[in-house]
Structure formats: C-alpha cells, structure tokens
A and B are shown apart, each in its own frame.
Chain A
Amino acid sequence: MTGWLGPQEWAAVALSLKVAVWATLLSLPPGILVAMALARGRFWGRGVLNVLVHLPLVMPPVVVGYLLLLTLSPVAPLGQALASLGVVFAFRWTGAALAAAVMGFPLMVRAIRLAIDAVDPRLEDAAATLGASRLRVFLTVTLPLILPGVLAGAVLAFAKAMGEFGATITFVSNIPGETRTLPSAIYAFLQQPGGDGAALRLVIVSIVVATVALVASEALARRMARRVGS
C-alpha cells in the first residue's frame, strides 16, 4: 500500500487512523457515563448537560475549534496548567484527537443513550433483588445489553473522527506529519498544482475505510443482538 500511496499520503492516512482510534477509545468511558446520566439521572443541571453535549453537533466546527484554541492554547490558563503536567494539545496530533473526540461525542452519546433507553429497568431491579450492587448490575446486566448501541456509537464517532476537518484545522492547523489528517491532506493537495492524483487516492482510501468500518460494525451488531436475544 505504501507503494501506491506517496510517503506524505501514507503519513496522513496513518495519522488519521491514529487520531480516530484514540478519539474513539478515549471518549467511550465518558460517553457511556454521560449517556447513563442523561438517560437515567434525575439531577439538577441535566438539561444543561444535554445541551452542552449536543452543542458540537449544531455549532460550526470552526467555532468549536476556535473555542478549543482559546481554552487550551499554551497562553490560556488551562492550557498552561495542562502543559505543566506535560499535556499539550495545541498544534499536536493529540489536539487533533481531542477535536475529533469533541465533534464525535454527541453522536456517540446519542447512540448509547438510545440503547440504554431500550434496556428494561425491571431487569436491573431483578438483578438487585439477587444481591447485585449497582456497579455489578451495570457491569453484568446493563452494559452487556447496550453493547450493540455502544458499538454503533463508537463507529459513528470513529467515522466522524476520520472526517473531521473544520475544528481540527482551526485548533491544530495543518502540519504535515503532526496534524495533517486525511481531510486536511486532501484539502492541501487540492491547493497544490498537480496534487489532484494524491487527493483522489486519499478520497478512495477514505471511502474504503468508511465502508469497512460500517460493514464490520453491522456484522458485529447483528452477532451481539443475537447473543442478547433481542
């Protein structure tokens, strides 16, 4: 594949996969937590949390990217504090992962929340009467039953991360080898004279990755659904 893709193109593909995988994996635990809180929680501020989570879905990505830059740039207080801990986002691939995670988060939460809403809470009651603590009920009943939804959410977030452009380029720019993800690379190649061929090859890679992810998740979800008997 490296023979067919130029080194710059290959770097963009590899970076995008890395960014998308990290963005997806790291947003899974908070995604499940927030989905649980939104689906089951009865607390003050639930409406605010709901709006906050969904904002990236409706705001222009450039705005999200700019807000990230404002809060996490090396000159912002939060950015400075994190930098002193060794965590730097601005103009790094980690920042690209963060931007992708934020943009994909609402999609992931929505999918998981739908799955939680479909779980019969009476099954959880049954588990509790059998002596299971809330944590054990979640791990042994709720989580296995929502796994297909979690997977669907993860695939959506992954796809979104692979394609994220606006927030990424605003937050971490378009640095080859560091923050030049697939969409940024396609955009850059299209700006260069004679870059059409490279852009087209990356477009094909994008389509293949998206299709494989979709087909794989469908198959997995079918298997899981069979397993949980729904």
Chain B
Amino acid sequence: MSLSVTLRHRLGTLDLDVAFEAPGGVTALFGRSGAGKTSVVNAVAGLLQPDSGSIVLNGKSLLSQGGTSVPKHRRRIGYVFQDARLFPHLSVRGNLLYGARNDHGLQRVTDLLGIGDLLRRRPRALSGGEAQRVAIGRALLSEPELLIMDEPLAALDAARKAEILPYLERLRDEAGLPILFVSHSVEEVARLATTLVLMDRGRVVRTGPAADLLADPTLAPIFGPRMAGAVLPGRIAAQHDDGLTEIAVSGGRLFLPATAGAPGDPLRVRIAAQDVMLALDRPENVSALNILSATVTEVQPGQGPGVMVQLRAGDDLLLARITRRSADALGLRPGTPCFAVLKSVAVAQGAVGRG
C-alpha cells in the first residue's frame, strides 16, 4: 500500500502546504493542536475540499490537480473520529454493519475489539472506550483500503486509553490495514507509529521511520524535552518471580516491571530521555538494574541547562537528557564509549507495547 499526499489549502489563519508519502503500517501525523493535522486527513477522506493538491491511494487517484475528486463515499477510507460519532438511533450491531456488505466479518471484528457482548446495546449506553472501539469496528467492517484515526484516544481518560491501545496494536499487527493516525501525544505515537510525519503550522517538518525520528536529538524540542525518548524493539526473554520482565534488546538485557506476554513475544519499549543516566565506567553497587554499554553518536545542546545525547547501544539508538555541566565533565562527544543507566521503575507500564 502507498498513500501519496500533496495539499495546499487556506483555512482561516492556517496556511496548509504539505506533501508526504505514507508506506504501509501506521503513519502518524504528529504536531501540536492547530498544526493542520485534521485538515490533512479530512482532505484525504474527502470531507474537506482543498484549494489544490493531489492524493493517490494504492495507485488510484482520489484527487488530482486537474480537479477530479472522488466523492467521499466512494473513497473506501474508514474514518475513526475523536468523538466516536456512533449513530444514536441504531444499536451497536446496526452501527457496526452500517457500511458492511454483509455480516460475515462481524465475528472476527467483534473478537478483535472485544465488543461481542455489546451488540444489542444502544450507543448512549456505552462508555467512552466502548464507543470508540465500536467506531473502530464500524470503520473496519466497511472494508476500507485505508483507516484514518483522528486522535481516537484524546477524549478518553488514562484508564480508557490503556484499555484501547492494545486493540490498536493488534489492528496494526493483525489486520494488515494501513492506518493514518493523527496524534499530539508522544506516548501514543511511540506505541503505534511505524512512520512519522511531523507537522508544524501547516507544514511538514520531517518525515521518516518512527524509530529514527524519535531517537533524533535535533527533534527533541518538537516532542518536548520531557517527552523525548527513543523506542527500542525487543523480545521478552523471561518472566521473573519477583515481578520483573526480562527483555532482550540488541544492546543487552532490560529488566522492567511486569509486562504481559510469553518469552519470544516482540515488544517496543519507550525510554524517556530524562530517565537515562550516563556513566563512563560500568557503575557497581547501584540500585539501577539496567546498564547498557553504548557509544555516544551525537550531543545536541538545548536552550536551557540540558543537552540531548544520542547513543548507540547494539543496533538501536537511545536518547539521554543530561545537564550540559555533566556532559562537559564527562567529556562526551561522538565516539565516547559509556554506559546508559536506567532505573527499572522509571519505565511506566504504558511505555511498553507490542512490537
């Protein structure tokens, strides 16, 4: 699958001018509110007619410079809105099957999303998380070629988010459906995205594989220094009796608070830059369980007292946020061998997702 988008549109004070390619997997449009992310996906779905541009999905032109525009109901693009937008006069079953040709896929989708028990309910009798899962199922059953999700978790509280994220991961890994995901949350993007499109004030700032961009110290200001952090792919190595999960990453082993899964299951672990400590010698007699041998690849000064250090540990990149004073004292520069130290309990449960 491939989606190619070029758009120009004037919307109030926002001057939208974007171009990007989305390969398969989950492509996340990331940027703060007002960056124009929703306008972009609305144009892709046909809900917004841009001043000019072209959109090509899987070789088919949905919008071309010449002015041809496929009407929204013929684009075969599923759309999960921030507010679930379920039809209030239909049951959950009626909502799910609204865009479906028949009910053959119903069982599979309700199993995937865990909504089999809700079929006879009315939308107003659903919790926010349930409604959002029904909305996802409804979009899936219309057999789209592309699924758009516009901040599907933004209206939910932390507990509901945690409830839905695993379903979205399953969607990414099992349904094989390309997803265009709009978000302003680094955590969501780190959990879900395979490709990132960074947007700011109507423009695309950078685009590339999510793992690369998340580990890029020059982009830390966009994610926010406190939110910046690399994502490491890994596999569960063992589950320990004391409540720790041992995870094999390319640079060694991590011990993290219990994460569900069997040995061999792929995971991705987001390690916030501010939780990583650096040492020139392997620390001994410290409480931190995770010590990875690494090499400095880049030192990026920030505006405040901190610097962002990029490290290579094994095949993967890590980010560490430390003070400029420490970086100077340790003499960190590209090529410096060092040790990255991470407290196990610093990694929140939500930062570990399916790989």
Residues of A within 8 A of B (CB): 120, 122-123, 125-134, 137, 140-141, 144-145, 227-230
Contacts and interface: CB of A to CB of B under 8 A. Distances in A.
Nearest to B124: A229
A122 B89 contact: no
A128 B85 contact: no
Contact of A229 (B74, B88, B142): B88
Contact of B73 (A133, A229, A230): A133
Contact of B77 (A129, A133, A141, A228): A129
A227 B78 contact: no
B88 A230 contact: yes
Given A122-B81, A126-B81, A131 B89 contact: no
B88 A132 contact: no
**Majority secondary structure, A binding face:** helix
A129 B88 contact: no
A129 B89 contact: no
A225 to B, nearest CB: 10
B45 interface: yes
Contacts of A122: 81, 83, 85
Contacts of B74: 131
A130 B138 CA distance: 8
B152 interface: no
Contact of B87 (A129, A134, A141): A141
Interface of B: 45-47, 72-79, 81, 83, 85, 87-89, 98-99, 122-124, 138-139, 142
Nearest to A147: B89
Contacts of A144: 89
A131 B99 contact: yes
A151 to B, nearest CB: 14
Contacts of A229: 88-89, 122-124
B89 A227 contact: yes
Residue among B76, B98, B122 with the highest chain A CB neighbour number at 10 A? B98
A145 B45 contact: no
Contacts of A128: 46-47, 72-73
A126 B96 CA distance: 12
A129 B72 contact: yes
21 contacts: A122-B81, A123-B85, A125-B79, A126-B85, A126-B87, A128-B46, A128-B72, A129-B45, A129-B47, A129-B73, A129-B75, A129-B79, A129-B139, A129-B142, A130-B78, A130-B98, A131-B76, A132-B73, A134-B73, A229-B89, A230-B88
Contact of B88 (A127, A131, A133, A228): A228
Given A126-B79, A229-B122, A131 B142 contact: yes
Contacts of B87: 123, 126-127, 141
Contact of A132 (B77, B98, B124): B98
A141 B142 CA distance: 16
Contacts of B138: 130
Contact of A130 (B99, B123, B124): B99
B22 to A, nearest CB: 18
Contacts of B75: 129
Contacts of B124: 229
Closest 8 pairs (CB-CB, A-B): A130-B99, A229-B88, A129-B79, A228-B89, A126-B85, A229-B124, A128-B72, A144-B89
A122 to B, nearest CB: 6
Nearest to A145: B89
A128 B98 CA distance: 10
Contacts of A145: 88-89
Nearest to A129: B79
A72 to B, nearest CB: 40
A122 B42 CA distance: 12
B184 to A, nearest CB: 20
B47 A125 contact: yes
Contacts of B142: 129-131
Contacts of A129: 45-47, 72-73, 75, 77-79, 99, 139, 142
Contacts of A230: 88
